[in-house]
Amino acid sequence: MLLRDLGPLPEEKLRHTAWKRGKLLINQNTNEPMRPSDIVTGSLTFAKPEGLDEHDHDFNNEIAKAALMIIRIQPDEIKDKRALEWSHEGILAYSKICTHVGCPISLYEQQTHHVLCPCHQSTFDLSDGAKVIFGPAGHALPQLRIGVNDEGYLEALGDFDEPVGPAFWERG
C-alpha cells in the first residue's frame, strides 16, 4: 500500500508522526520492544512506535507515516557525521517511506548498505545519510534520532526532523 493510498495528506499531516521523545521502537514482526543486541549487523528490521491504538480511525495512516527501517553499520563505515550522531552505536533508523511517491522500501543490500524502492528503483545509501544515489526520488530518507532508555530499550529522541514521504506534498 502506498502512503498516498491512505488519502490526501497535506503538509501539516506529514510534518508530524507518532514518534516523539521516549517512544520505544517496537519490532513490527514480534511486537516486542527492541534492544541494541537484537539488531544484527547486515540485517534490516522494521519498527513502529509503541502505543498506537489499532482501534483509532487514523491507525493505518499513523503506522504508515511512522514506519522505520533499522539497520546496524560499523560506526567507522558511516560517512555522514550527523547520521552517526543520530545513531546509537551504529544503529540507524530511517523512514521506510520512499521520497519519490511514497512506496514502502523493502530491499536491503548489506554489502553496500543500499536500500532499493521496488516501485521505480530509487536507491538510497544508508551509510551516507540515506542520500539518493539512483532513481527519481528527490531527497534523502528522513532519519529518526534514537538512543537507549534506562531499561536498555531503543527509544526515539524526538520526531523526524523533516516530513516523511514525497517531496511534492510539502516542499514549495
Interface residue list for ligand FES (CB under 6 A) = 98, 100-103, 117, 119-120, 122, 135-137
Smallest gap from residue 116 Cβ to ligand FES (A): 9
Of the two residues 93 and 137, which places its CB atom closer to ligand FES in the complex? Answer: 137
Please say which residue, 47 or 105, places its beta carbon nearer to ligand FES.
105
Contact status, residue 9 vs residue 3, Cβ threshold 8 Å? yes
Lookup: cell for 152 = 536498555
Q: Give the shortest CB-167-to-ligand FES separation in angstroms.
A: 11
For 25-120, list the strands marked E by DSSP: 25-27, 45-49, 68-72, 91-95, 107-109, 114-116
Which grid cell is 102? 511514497
Rounded to whole angstroms, how far apart are CA atoms 135 and 123? 6
The smaller minimum CB distance to ligand FES, of residues 82 and 171, is found at 171
Nearer to ligand FES, 70 or 103 (CB): 103
Least CB distance to ligand FES at residue 2 (A): 8
Q: Grid coordinates representing 118?
A: 521496488
